[in-house]
């Protein structure tokens, strides 16, 4: 009798994360977003927040699901020590774009995997991104596109904003929402096939 391959639950509401996994042939058995307060703790730096949130999401979903793999992630954009919001309004998106214009910023991706045995493995992925100087017109055109809606840092690199990126140092898929290189290595290294 063939061993039944273990199930993988994606603890994320992000359609981009499940789409990214599918590009490398991984389809989660189910998608169960963890409903958590995603605000940074007092004195916490952006990379620490991204890692902690991925761990809390994974723990919350693993507590309800036994004998499965649980994969969770959190993506955060920061300019210096300042965490940028997930843009939900035009004003938030405009604030982010004006701040990112002509500057470098970091995209932090916290990834956590809980194995069927309950072992937890986490990794922090950092990608540095440099935006060109944006004109008022470019910012307003991007605002009108609505591509910023719900995106960390007020932009999605896989759309119109790709034209604003001068330079990337690190994982492109981390900016989209999940570093596939790191995720695949974590899964394979912990017995997921």
Question: Looking up tokens 């999940």, which residue turns up?
Answer: 178
The residue segments making up the domain with residue 122 are: 8-189
The verdict on residue 3 lying in a domain is no
The verdict on residue 43 lying in a domain is yes
Residues of the chain with pLDDT under 50: 1-3
The verdict on residue 118 lying in a domain is yes
74 is catalytic: yes
The verdict on residue 180 lying in a domain is yes
pLDDT for the residue numbered 129 = 98
Distances (CA, A) of 126 to 2, 15, 94, 180, 191: 39, 21, 24, 13, 25
> Is the pTM for the entire model greater than 0.85?
yes
DSSP class of residue 128 equals E
pLDDT for the residue numbered 59 = 97
The verdict on residue 2 lying in a domain is no
CATH for 45: 3.90.950.10
Encode 86-112: b = buried (16+ Cβ within 10 Å), e = exposed.
bbeeeebbbebbebbbeeebbbbbbbb
Q: Single out the catalytic residue among 35, 74, 91, 182.
A: 74
pLDDT for the residue numbered 5 = 65
Number of domains observed in the structure of the chain: 1
């Amino acid at each position: 009798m063939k061993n039944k391959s273990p199930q993988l639950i994606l603890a994320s509401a992000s359609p981009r994360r499940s789409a990214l996994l599918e590009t490398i042939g991984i389809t989660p058995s189910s998608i169960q977003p963890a409903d958590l307060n995603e605000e940074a703790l007092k004195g916490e730096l952006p990379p620490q927040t991204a890692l902690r949130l991925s761990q809390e999401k994974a723990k919350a979903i693993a507590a309800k699901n036994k004998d499965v793999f649980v994969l969770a992630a959190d993506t955060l954009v920061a300019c210096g020590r300042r965490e940028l919001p997930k843009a939900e309004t035009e004003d938030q998106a405009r604030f982010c774009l004006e701040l990112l214009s002509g500057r470098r910023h970091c995209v932090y991706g916290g990834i956590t995997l809980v194995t069927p045995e309950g072992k937890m493995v986490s990794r922090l992925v950092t990608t540095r991104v440099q935006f060109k100087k944006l004109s008022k017109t470019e910012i307003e055109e991007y605002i009108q596109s609505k591509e910023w809606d719900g995106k960390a840092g007020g932009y999605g690199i896989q759309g119109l904003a790709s034209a604003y990126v001068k330079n990337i140092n690190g994982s492109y898929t981390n900016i989209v929402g999940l570093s596939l290189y790191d995720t695949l290595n974590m899964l394979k290294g912990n017995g997921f096939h």
